[in-house]
Structure 1
């Protein structure tokens, strides 16, 4: 059969870009993209596909099995298509290829193969048990990380080797002196008692016939290190760290050798042993202390003398809690050099990296044995000195003691292993000799998600704001979505990610990352439906046990819906459906027959800029108005979820409930003339975006919101509950210019106030730094939070004009609304179906717009003063008349330097 050559199948992937090695499901869903290789009609759409699956022989030389084919499947689906073949078995390796048909008879060529290999899918696949050092430890302190090792022998040439590994604590593994993988803080943080993730590594190139050794570093991490709020707690999940490792080596002759963690002697004569290494202490808050004089070179190589090492102790585990990792690991994604070396008034040497970030420092230093280098981290300076009060009890200090080679010897290179800091500045003390360029490098760490979204415009201040949002997302997507990366907290606050998820889903492919975290939300949910304030749940000095709270608890309903809308993932709706129902059912009981949620602890419009520094919940919008509004919105969203899942009885029930809450909201909070009981920006934003007002009152409510913004001098007057809604509320009621004025205001509080003050990330408070350059006196003052950065979603959808019109971007909505002062803007997004982009510029009295639509996708183009039109794939230019272009935006004032 001839193949069409103008369409190619690309980007074939399993699940949401899950690891291809060690895949944790027997039925991986497949996605692909159709791209034009030549001129293709804009109307071309996929009408059918064929999936070909070829099992790969387990060892070289084996006879290859025959391929299996789905045959032609008449369907236009290309995102998360159900696995068409027989379920995969543990350790099975297959090659997958896809080809497509349009409406004609010629298929495309098959795609480039995707090789998948499952990991250990069943608890019975595991023979490894947790083992850790067999020595006494004080459970009330941070512990010195341990080294573990074992030797083993392989009786023949190696065909394939896989290491399946996780830990109670944090681990790094080495085989024959070489580090395995490049992830850090493995295995990450989950609700360990329910879900302990493991990863599979290809170590074929690291093992050999004859003698071998495996070694591991093992540290406390989240498992038992100090963690939590206001001093935190220890031993959150257990009092002992342990390694769980299973090395499976397939020999060329077909035999399999398994080297697993266990307390006894294996068939190959090897035993696990334990000792201390050069790391004296390591904690996520405190930092890490390393004495290079205590290094143990060669401990993970064969022939090392471990006769003085201690034995290991076996610990219990529940094999059912072991799950394959399904999102990207934390990695170093870039390096940043200092932009300045400062000398503080006290004489301290301070490095300014020019960017607030999450990571740690790598140093290159020469000196004598015993020289001690100390690195203290902080986000800001005050009075020219490193300012650490916002860190609260987190010391954020790393210490390195040199092994010594003299000032002329080879440099020693060191980076901490098991800690992480949020910082822009680092104070360096004890450095021997001169500090040269490249001696200290900041290494940026976060979950290594693929970047998918970009924005730019003619106003550099807005570009800096958008870049700040990107950096705050990077800084806080460190295995879980945290609130902040620097102080003694760093928790998965549910409200923060609930408001930020739409922005996150544009900027990065966070589908697997958030789907994994949502599973922890479900398992941590209380039997009555209460969603904890943060997940994973840890003991805190307040709000324990968890109480139901609007905005935060609504993450169980609203964030799965965002993932469905942005990625077309029905599976996440189904996986989280019971959790979502439990939340809405709980709120229904709490609200009672009058459908008003007007009781209990509520954080409301958290961090309204009018709230006192020490009372962040005292907002202008009544907290119970916020609670009832979110009740209505979650009930409506749950009804829509039920409809998508085919649960029509539930869809009707929750739709009716949403109607009742909507009526109750208006009855309780609506006043004549479209006024609300709380005459505040957040109240109107909630009522308008959540559609809680009678149609005849929307215009008046929108007008009142615009009046409030003007009365506030175009300054923001919302906290977390309204920050992602206020501009949408304005634009949907015809107040585009007011929305843009709100976005571009520079007075405090505003988004651009932070930019004018030199921010390189978004802040927790609108005024984390006060206009005089001092830090807000509140005890809760972070310079790296993403919640207030949720404005970026509106910038993508409205300033640039690129949005999904159907789940998974099957259709696009192109609706730019150029704001006063802007002469151009653009957005680009790697959708599940290919690259979509919008760019516009003013040309005299014309607005020139270019729209790029992926193959198989259609776009509704809604431009000012022009009827909406539908276009297919390809690039489409448009021009429409516009008003006289506004004067250019004046050059922004220089960003205020950090106070010195």
Structure 2
């Protein structure tokens, strides 16, 4: 870890690294008035203890030259006595539209020794006033492009009216060679890729990302200074994206509009400070090309015969192209900067095996369920042919790909080649993505080899923060499956499935998984963006939705689904110490609480249930829906009281504390036996929610926990929980003294259990415990995803309880500034090695057991403190930063 920082380390103990602005690394467009800075600290000597930051100084300048001279001409904080390293608001001079600001920081350690300045970071201010216009194709352009295609394709396009050709837009322009900077701002009603002089300006996919296009559209900013010359051509490939592709499970298409358009401004500044703007207007040209359609659910159809050559190069002759149509910017639709990391290709995977299942039909197995694309390599001298790639998560018994669970999503990419070619060619789709482990290839010229395809993993590029390895191959695979499920479904929004005709941002899935997600990856920016979608989807009555953006499933949110509007902001506050998350969402959260409370004055949530899903996909259990809904109402009140206290809303904190108590009282009166702690329904989930949400009086909690353990024992040490209960299963068992039961469930490998899917070759989390069984085969294909992260919410427990990495135990100890190291070893595991890169630095916790002895090694990051709770061995420690070993602690 230290090697990459040796160049900045001098004679000081600590140095600032990993500078970010609004959770992002060097964002080029930020529309926050006072953006927040953050950094972490690294020790010169990792063996030294109790290192901390006493003070910091931030310099912000409008040019790197001034900053190099240690001049902050926009802001110089001076020496600020503080140990704060994140959520520090910029308080300098107001930036102009599009202006870039450069910043760096130095710190003083606990002995007042001064560090060197950090490396330079920067951010760019938003483009405040757009002068460009939306540009697209004249009416009929795309319809005419569908003429003279193969009959098989013509029938498909006719039956799927949203399958429209991709547009190509271009503009030729010249500029002076003395360019200082050039920033391109771009967005689309659709999905787009930009090329400048034949080269892509970035590596993002499916931009501008999914929002409710009726209300908000994100835009991106790209530094294209190095791509410009004297003679230039700006080109845009424009697909339908979420704007007018098929979206969701109700065959919705053109959800936001019927014709995709693009909006661009290229701001060029010369060294003499002269500025020019190249923008989308009526001087642009448009054409169609080889992509007949590229649809999120249906896939892509590519006709090589319609290739338009070097269309984005300056020398290209576009006389035959049509002039674009233009439309003004709608002032009612907000144009906002991209709030999170973009969707990108993050890795490549080669297939491991192949077999010919019938003449000319080949099935390739990547041995990993993933989400993304397949790049196809076609060798030289290939004859005219039609190559089709069909994507699937599973195989039928006969070896054919299983696609019934995709429902109406075709998930087929087709390349129609035009004849002999002397050079090898690569093909890759543009504005679609698929969930798959297997690829069926037909029509390939000759015998396809393993090297002819490569899987390209695509998802929102949230940085991985959690690492976990144990002595159990099952647990290791489970962690991998959870992480793969997260990567697969965090695609601009947290979707419920990546392969079938759905891929919606379900709030229930998001709220139950958000805590796990925040250990696996840095999702601070990702969920900040999605909570804006959640707020925009809130109804005028105050109801959060079931999905955000609100599409297909248009009713207000059900219990445990709509509650994400409170639970996600709370989790972001807890994990990242983000007070702004509270401020941004407080009004919406208040409206949600009033929405429930106004219709349920007796504190039992029976009205405004909105298709109450209950404990979705529970097994051999029937959790009463009114028990679940009321418990969630109580949990919302509990979290609101904490958020109010954290944001100094004293009266609100009191109000919501009382509300939680009133709901708990009503809950106990209606559903709980006050003598023995039995709860109506007698399911695992009713006990889990009552305990996790603090709905029971103190005296009943041990009794209820025992009832829970007895229920699990009665099911032969198997779980029965669905989407909702499963997230609280192991945490509650460990919290209330049944850690042994949590481990029995964790390591179970018969149905229903996490291990059952692993025993049956799962490489991601299944939607259902019985997605496939030896006795019945595949579940009902109408709802059977093999890549659906909700049941993987046990990942939180793996880090928080098994490895023992948690933020402090007090309500105000958030963001891992004060760390709680409280590992919980259990039978079946002999070691655990875990690390978590928190907003305050990397935390390591590694333990192993031998002969009833427990050994722990931890690494506490600079500028934090930790409580090391080894209460099972009767030991408790308070420590500062550094590496610590606790050897041969008694397990008995």
Aligned length: 857
**Corresponding position: 1:90 with 2:94:** no
CA gap of 1:249–1:676, structure 2 versus 1, over 3 A, is same
**Corresponding position: 1:354 with 2:370:** no
**Distance in 1 separating the partners of 2:715 and 2:285:** 67
Residue in structure 1 matched with residue 540 of structure 2 by the alignment: 527
**Distance in 2 separating the partners of 1:588 and 1:553:** 14
Q: CA deviation at 1:26?
A: 3.6
Match 1:553 to one of 562, 569, 572: 562
**Distance in 2 separating the partners of 1:298 and 1:749:** 56
TM-score normalised by the chain length of structure 2: 0.93
Match 2:873 to one of 865, 874, 891: 865
RMSD of Structure 2 on Structure 1 (CA): 2.2
Q: CA deviation at 1:742?
A: 1.0
**Distance in 2 separating the partners of 1:173 and 1:140:** 26
**Distance in 1 separating the partners of 2:796 and 2:542:** 30
Match 1:303 to one of 299, 315, 323: 315
Residue in structure 1 matched with residue 55 of structure 2 by the alignment: 48
For residues 129-172 of structure 1, the C-alpha deviation after alignment (integer angstroms, 9 at most, x for no partner) is 11001132669432111111111121443222111000010111
**Distance in 1 separating the partners of 2:818 and 2:110:** 19
CA contact (8 A) 2:75 2:91 kept: no
Residue in structure 1 matched with residue 152 of structure 2 by the alignment: none
**Distance in 2 separating the partners of 1:48 and 1:253:** 39
CA contact (8 A) 1:59 1:254 kept: no
Match 1:741 to one of 729, 740, 744: 744
Q: Which moved more, 1:683-692 or 1:37-46?
A: 37-46
TM-score normalised by the chain length of structure 1: 0.92
**Distance in 1 separating the partners of 2:845 and 2:350:** 34
**Partner SS for 1:585:** helix
Residue in structure 2 matched with residue 824 of structure 1 by the alignment: 831
Q: CA deviation at 1:512?
A: 0.3
Q: Which moved more, 1:767-776 or 1:549-558?
A: 767-776
Residue in structure 2 matched with residue 605 of structure 1 by the alignment: 615
CA contact (8 A) 1:170 1:218 kept: yes
**Corresponding position: 1:323 with 2:336:** yes
Q: CA deviation at 1:253?
A: 2.9
**Corresponding position: 1:377 with 2:391:** yes
**Distance in 2 separating the partners of 1:257 and 1:308:** 28
**Partner SS for 1:724:** helix
Q: Which moved more, 1:782-791 or 1:571-580?
A: 571-580
Q: How does 1:69-80 map to 2 (within 5 A)?
A: 69-80=76-87
**Distance in 1 separating the partners of 2:711 and 2:358:** 45
CA gap of 1:422–1:97, structure 2 versus 1, over 3 A, is same
For residues 489-545 of structure 1, the C-alpha deviation after alignment (integer angstroms, 9 at most, x for no partner) is 0000000010000000000001101110101100110011111110111134xxx4x
Q: CA deviation at 1:712?
A: 0.7
Match 1:398 to one of 397, 407, 413: 413
Q: How does 1:336-351 map to 2 (within 5 A)?
A: 336-344=349-357, 348-351=361-364
Contiguous gaps of at least 5 residues in structure 1? 264-270, 611-618, 885-900
CA gap of 1:313–1:59, structure 2 versus 1, over 3 A, is farther
For residues 239-278 of structure 1, the C-alpha deviation after alignment (integer angstroms, 9 at most, x for no partner) is 1110101111112332212110012xxxxxxx21111110
Match 1:425 to one of 432, 438, 442: 438
**Corresponding position: 1:437 with 2:459:** no
Q: CA deviation at 1:845?
A: 2.8
Residue in structure 2 matched with residue 282 of structure 1 by the alignment: 294
**Corresponding position: 1:240 with 2:247:** no
CA gap of 1:287–1:837, structure 2 versus 1, over 3 A, is same
Q: CA deviation at 1:192?
A: 1.4
**Distance in 1 separating the partners of 2:69 and 2:692:** 61
**Distance in 2 separating the partners of 1:140 and 1:50:** 59
Q: Which moved more, 1:9-18 or 1:410-419?
A: 9-18
**Corresponding position: 1:655 with 2:669:** no
**Distance in 1 separating the partners of 2:388 and 2:338:** 35
**Distance in 1 separating the partners of 2:277 and 2:435:** 41
Q: CA deviation at 1:570?
A: 0.7
**Distance in 2 separating the partners of 1:62 and 1:261:** 39
**Corresponding position: 1:224 with 2:237:** no
**Distance in 1 separating the partners of 2:765 and 2:443:** 33
Residue in structure 1 matched with residue 764 of structure 2 by the alignment: 761
Residue in structure 2 matched with residue 687 of structure 1 by the alignment: 690
Match 1:798 to one of 793, 798, 801: 801
**Distance in 2 separating the partners of 1:433 and 1:4:** 64
**Partner SS for 1:21:** coil
Residue in structure 2 matched with residue 481 of structure 1 by the alignment: 494
Q: Which moved more, 1:43-52 or 1:481-490?
A: 43-52
Match 2:377 to one of 343, 364, 385: 364
Residue in structure 2 matched with residue 131 of structure 1 by the alignment: 135
**Corresponding position: 1:574 with 2:583:** yes
Q: Which moved more, 1:178-187 or 1:339-348?
A: 339-348
**Partner SS for 2:643:** helix
For residues 69-89 of structure 1, the C-alpha deviation after alignment (integer angstroms, 9 at most, x for no partner) is 111222221111111322332
Residue in structure 2 matched with residue 446 of structure 1 by the alignment: 459
For residues 174-211 of structure 1, the C-alpha deviation after alignment (integer angstroms, 9 at most, x for no partner) is 111111101111111011122211111111111112x2
**Corresponding position: 1:583 with 2:592:** yes
Match 2:186 to one of 152, 162, 165: 165
Q: CA deviation at 1:488?
A: 0.2
For residues 741-789 of structure 1, the C-alpha deviation after alignment (integer angstroms, 9 at most, x for no partner) is 1111111110000100100000100111112472112511000000000
Match 1:696 to one of 675, 694, 699: 699
CA gap of 1:61–1:554, structure 2 versus 1, over 3 A, is closer
Residue in structure 2 matched with residue 669 of structure 1 by the alignment: 671
CA contact (8 A) 1:60 1:252 kept: no
CA contact (8 A) 1:588 1:595 kept: no
**Partner SS for 2:751:** coil
**Partner SS for 2:247:** coil
**Partner SS for 2:784:** coil
Residue in structure 2 matched with residue 623 of structure 1 by the alignment: 625
Q: CA deviation at 1:707?
A: 0.5
For residues 846-899 of structure 1, the C-alpha deviation after alignment (integer angstroms, 9 at most, x for no partner) is 111001100111111111222321111111111244358xxxxxxxxxxxxxxx
- Tell me which stretches of 4 or more aligned residues in structure 1 moved more than 6 Å: 57-65
